[in-house]
Amino acid sequence: MTSSRPAQAAGIIAQQIREIAPDGKDSARLPDSAGDITPAPFLPDLCSVTGVAALVLMGELLALVLVLATDGLNPFNWQRLGLVSLTVQWVILPSAALLCRLRPFLARLSHKIAAALSFATVLAVLATVLSAQHWWAADMAGTAIDYWALLANLLVGAICAGVVLRYAYVQQQLHNQQQAELGARIEALQSRIRPHFLFNSMNSLASLIAVDAERAEKLVEDLSALFRASLADSKMVPLEQEVALAKRYMEIESLRLGDRLQQVWHLDEFPAQAQLPSMLLQPLLENAVLHGVARLRAGGKIEISIREVPAQNKLKRRQNVIGGSARELLLSIHNPVKDSAANPETDEYRNAHVDRVHTGHGMAMENIRQRLSAFYGDRFRFTAEQHGNEYRVELRLPMSAHAQTRTTEPVATPVAAVKNAVKTEVAQ
């Protein structure tokens, strides 16, 4: 029997694509920070430092091509290059400023109308600059305006403007598509974690219902908080919130395992802006419990350390930090495991812990790696290895990373209904 997970992931991606373009490419939409669907930009931000630098460079290259096509290379006409460059920049910079002001308005229009309005704006600036230039040249020479030369220059400028606008449009649509695919990828990975987490949590609850009703009720309350985070859309959350959620999960496992499970937290003081992808710590701790402590008759101790450290060379090169040293978040989890020499299934265990999906328990580690790649690209380091009878997971994340944020309100869990079901089961 085939698994339904690929179909679920494909359904999420298809739904995201329908939201991006429900009526075709002329209706592009993207979710905003509040989870609402807002128009996707039609053109890139031409007023950014990168955008202005690219436009100025393209303008200078265009001026150089025009001078070479007119006067040749030997002798090179530097005076004409200066005049042509001045004219080109007078067209480019005001056009970019106007398109920046029109950018929110263009995003709400169909692509055909937005393209026509953008092109008309650039043509208006081009006609104004060239008309002023030809009038000034004719006045200085005491002759009439050469309208044929003006028309030829307008035609060349219109062709170049059309090419540049088309390039900017294609670049922005490619960026919109990448953002949509990134969101769909994160949603699909999150949907694969939910049933895995739900299955293991329900097993813990089932083992306590007939034994201790009060402990089972406390477990339901903790599960309600975890389910809200698990059922919410993927997003970046404050580090403090993620740590609190992870501690609630460890309380759930402590109720089930009792004294066999010991935990030690080493936490530093962090800035308020420190964030993590939601539901990142819980799957790591779940692996440490299920594949470590729970398999040992005497139990063991799980050590969790989260601190801020100087960035290593790879991450330091990726961060653009001005006036200070690059910092990163170091998260490490150590848990006991069966000794390799005494465990004939060490390879099987290792695979379940790291990269391969084995008997349904190893998907968490691979999903975490893929989710981190979706959020941070290659700006993170994730290592997991066994040293004797100890398993170590280490995660390094950039403190100043700008990750994709999705902040849709989570789905509420009916806690009262679950509590009543627990009490009824105990009474029976």
CA-wise closest residue to 250 among 278, 214, 276, 287? 287
Q: What is the pLDDT along the chain (428 residues), one digit of tens a residue?
A: 444 444 444 444 444 434 444 444 443 444 444 445 567 888 898 888 988 999 999 999 999 998 898 888 888 889 889 989 999 999 999 999 999 999 989 988 888 999 999 999 999 999 999 999 889 988 888 888 888 989 999 999 999 999 999 999 998 888 887 777 766 666 665 555 555 556 766 776 777 777 777 777 777 887 777 767 666 666 788 888 889 888 988 887 887 788 899 999 999 887 777 888 887 888 888 888 888 898 888 889 999 999 988 877 654 544 444 445 678 889 999 999 886 544 444 444 343 333 333 333 456 677 778 778 878 877 889 888 888 889 999 999 987 544 444 333 333 343 444 444 444 444 44
Residues 192 and 164 in one domain: no
* pLDDT at position 192: 52
* pLDDT at position 132: 92
Cβ atoms of 394 and 383 within 8 Å: the answer is: yes
* pLDDT at position 364: 63
d(CA 320, CA 398): 11
End-of-domain residue from the set 157, 183, 209: 183
* pLDDT at position 264: 92
* pLDDT at position 238: 87
Residues 213 and 335 in one domain: yes
d(CA 7, CA 21): 21
* pLDDT at position 34: 44
Residues 104 and 226 in one domain: no
End-of-domain residue from the set 159, 183, 207: 183
End-of-domain residue from the set 183, 208, 223: 183
Residues 171 and 211 in one domain: no
DSSP code of 329?
E
Residues 196 and 344 in one domain: yes
* pLDDT at position 26: 41
Residue 236: partners with Cβ closer than 8 Å, 6 or more residues away:
275, 276, 277, 278, 375, 403, 404, 405
Q: Which residues of 204-216 are buried (b: 16+ CB within 10 A; e: fewer)?
A: bbeebbeeebeeb
Residues 131 and 192 in one domain: no
User: In 10 A of CB 418, how many CB atoms?
Assistant: 19
* pLDDT at position 385: 87
Residues 207 and 177 in one domain: no
- β-bridge pairing 37-39 and 29-31: antiparallel
Residues 261 and 282 in one domain: yes
In CATH, what number is assigned to the domain containing residue 302? 3.30.565.10
- Phi/psi for 358 (5° steps) reads -125, 120
Task: Report helix, strand or coil for 188.
Answer: helix
Element (H, E) at 227: helix 213-231
d(CA 391, CA 352): 12
CA-wise closest residue to 41 among 178, 160, 158, 157? 178
Task: Work out how many domains the chain is built from and give that number.
Answer: 2
CA-wise closest residue to 333 among 295, 365, 380, 372? 365
DSSP code of 42?
S
d(CA 42, CA 59): 22
Residues 405 and 329 in one domain: yes
* pLDDT at position 124: 94
* pLDDT at position 369: 82
Provide the residue count of the chain.
428
Cβ atoms of 130 and 157 within 8 Å: the answer is: yes
d(CA 257, CA 342): 23
Between the CA atoms of 31, 270, 194 and 215, what dihedral angle is there, to the nearest 10 degrees?
-140
CA-wise closest residue to 282 among 241, 327, 221? 241
Residues 235 and 148 in one domain: no
Residues 151 and 244 in one domain: no
Give the domain range for residue 142. Answer: 1-183
DSSP code of 128?
H
Residues 139 and 263 in one domain: no
Task: Write the DSSP string, 251-269.
Answer: HHHHHHHGGGEEEEEEE--
d(CA 320, CA 147): 51
